[in-house]
Structure 1
Amino acid sequence: MIIYVTGGARSGKSRFAQERARQLSDSPVYVATARIWDDDFGQRVQRHRNERGPEWTTHESELDLHQLPLADRVVVIDCVTLWLTNLFMANQNDIDQTLAAFKADLDKLREIPATFLIISNEIGMGLHADTELGRKFTDLQGWANQYVASVADEAIFMVSGLPMRLK
């Protein structure tokens, strides 16, 4: 089962997904896809770790999420944007290769008997990217989000901390 949660920055996506996971399981799993690039981001990651209680199992994985021990668990994947960034870098910024790799990874996850709450960002609703690379990534993110939404059992769009059920 896939529950897709999307929205803008600080829209309440992670809080919603984590609360939903706790409703579904006493011992959920949190998969962090972030690569820590600087001290500020490292502090953000640590703050998120501290906010989750000891009932959470945390895995930090930039790629190949399907190789983690996730079977029969309730799993929050946070987030598609950073996972996609890792794939984009691994594929030398090639949109087609990255999107194919993302879809293949997600399809492998779908084979695992688990409940996934997959968080993503709606970056295409913000300002137009200044650089060609930024515009390419915005397109890639949009197509990846469309794919996740198409295979999801539920889709939720977060706005100002409120869930809007799309599917």
Structure 2
Amino acid sequence: MIIYISGGARSGKSGFAQEMALKLSEKPVYVATAKVWDENFAERVARHKADRGPEWSSIEAERDIHLQPIARRTVVIDCITLWLTNLFIQYDEDMERTLTAFKADIDSISAMEGTFIIISNEIGMGVHAATEMGRKFTDLQGWANQYVATKAGEAVFMVSGLPLWLKKSS
């Protein structure tokens, strides 16, 4: 089952997802999709790692998440935005190829047994991007988020550290 968690920057998405995973499993998996671009980002990654305890297994994968050893596990995938960025660069900013590759990965994950808590950012709720590439990526992110939300059994929107349930499994 996919559980989709979205929200703005610093809305509490990761903490909420980690708490949820720990309630579901004593040995959850954390898949980090980030590519470390600079020293500041490396510090952010280190802080994220420090937030998790020894019960977590960590996997760093920039794409092809479905190829990782995640089947039949409780997994936090953090996050779609960085995952899409990696694909967008790989496919030379081609939106169609990027979205196709992303959807194929999501379809493969949704076919697996396990619980997959997938985090994303709602980047389209803020100021419009100043560049063509930024606007393309905002559109791409919105379409990717919609796709995951439709595949999800549950969907949560985080606002100021509080969960707003958009879709709940029965």
After TM superposition, the score normalised by the length of structure 1 is 0.99
Q: What does residue range 1-167 of structure 1 map to in structure 2 within 5 Å?
A: 1-167=1-167
RMSD: 0.5
| 1:83-140 per-position Cα deviation (integer Å, ceiling 9, x unaligned) | 0000101110011111111000111111221100000000000110000000000000
The separation in 1 between residues aligned to 2:111 and 2:150, in whole angstroms, is 16
Question: Contact conserved, 2:32 with 2:60, CA < 8 A, in 1?
Answer: yes
Letter in 2 for 1:130: A
The separation in 2 between residues aligned to 1:36 and 1:112, in whole angstroms, is 28
Shift of 1:71: 1.4
Secondary structure at the counterpart of residue 166 of structure 1: strand
Secondary structure at the counterpart of residue 21 of structure 2: helix
| 1:1-24 per-position Cα deviation (integer Å, ceiling 9, x unaligned) | 000000000000000000000000
The separation in 1 between residues aligned to 2:62 and 2:132, in whole angstroms, is 24
Shift of 1:63: 0.9
Give runs of ≥4 in structure 1 deviating > 6 Å: none
Judge which range, 107-116 or 140-149, deviates more: 107-116
Question: Contact conserved, 2:31 with 2:77, CA < 8 A, in 1?
Answer: yes
Gapped runs of 5+ residues in structure 2?
Answer: none
The separation in 2 between residues aligned to 1:102 and 1:71, in whole angstroms, is 18
Letter in 2 for 1:94: D
Q: Percent identity?
A: 66
The separation in 2 between residues aligned to 1:5 and 1:121, in whole angstroms, is 8
The separation in 2 between residues aligned to 1:41 and 1:99, in whole angstroms, is 25
The separation in 1 between residues aligned to 2:70 and 2:161, in whole angstroms, is 28
Letter in 2 for 1:30: Y
